[in-house]
Chain A
Amino acid sequence: MIYERFIKLTIESKIDSIDLLSVAVRAICKTVIHDPILLYNVVLCLVEATTNVIKHAYHRKPGNLIEVLITIDDFHLVFQVIDSGEKTSIPPPKKELYSNAKDITSLPESGMGLFLIGQIMDQVSFDQQEGKNVLTMIKNIK
């Protein structure tokens, strides 16, 4: 039988609220992730996902809510980032951020969050449920 637990966190759609989420997610994930780099990367994905929600779904307007549901079982960490902002869609993540390191003008200054999520997570999906945007990210932990 798989042992499963979950916790739901809610923050306001303000960039400076992400710090609070980051601290809480790091503490929660630390209970099952013991590799510091993996822990950093998983927290990074949550930070990137919520930053995208604030910028693109809520257009930086505070006063809205972002829910983060974290489910932990013996094999996976599942993160669901849920918002009621503008209906969005996510493009498939880029395979490379740039083609030539010497061509400075081609380097990206934004849009790297989805790339990082795609690199770090084992499964990523996005859909609309009951009028809400739901980003699901799964990391295998065993």
Chain B
Amino acid sequence: MINLESKELREFILLKPLSPNIDATACSEFKGRVLDLINQGHNFFLLNLSMVEFVDSSGLGTLISILKTLKLKNGDIVLCELNNLVQNLFNLTRMNLVFTICPNEKEGLDSLDKIKKGIGASWNTILGL
């Protein structure tokens, strides 16, 4: 069972797993909890991984799946506070080029702000606003 803290911060959802592993044991419950939030209408997430010590390919696949779901809804998920071991997994798989990864929550929220405004701007351009 994964211990996952979630709260609204600005207009985003901050997710913070308090369990040390996002792996094959934890990933389906983790995904279910995030999908529940997406189904409630939330499309922008900041995932704080400071308490996470281990992510395997199942956990990584879950994060990719969530990212795909959000991108289809013009949303996004930004990651922050990865320790160097978890960052190493993202580097090995080159998922560091796919996800926006920030050093801390403040920069993560600022990044989400920019992403959201960027999407808004592109829609405004499309709509001629």
Residues of chain A touching chain B, judged by Cβ–Cβ distance below 8 Å, are 15-16, 18-19, 22, 36-37, 40-41, 43-44, 47-48, 51, 96-98, 101, 104-105, 107-110, 112-113, 115-116, 119-120
Contact = CB atoms under 8 A, between A and B. Distances in A.
Interface residues of B, number: 26
Main SS at interface, chain B: helix
B64 A107 contact: yes
Contacts of A18: 23-25
Nearest to B99: A101
28 contacts: A15-B24, A15-B25, A18-B23, A18-B24, A18-B25, A19-B23, A36-B84, A40-B54, A41-B92, A43-B54, A44-B89, A47-B24, A47-B56, A48-B56, A48-B57, A51-B57, A51-B58, A96-B94, A97-B93, A98-B98, A104-B71, A104-B98, A105-B68, A108-B64, A109-B61, A112-B57, A112-B93, A113-B57
B94 A101 contact: yes
A104 B23 CA distance: 22
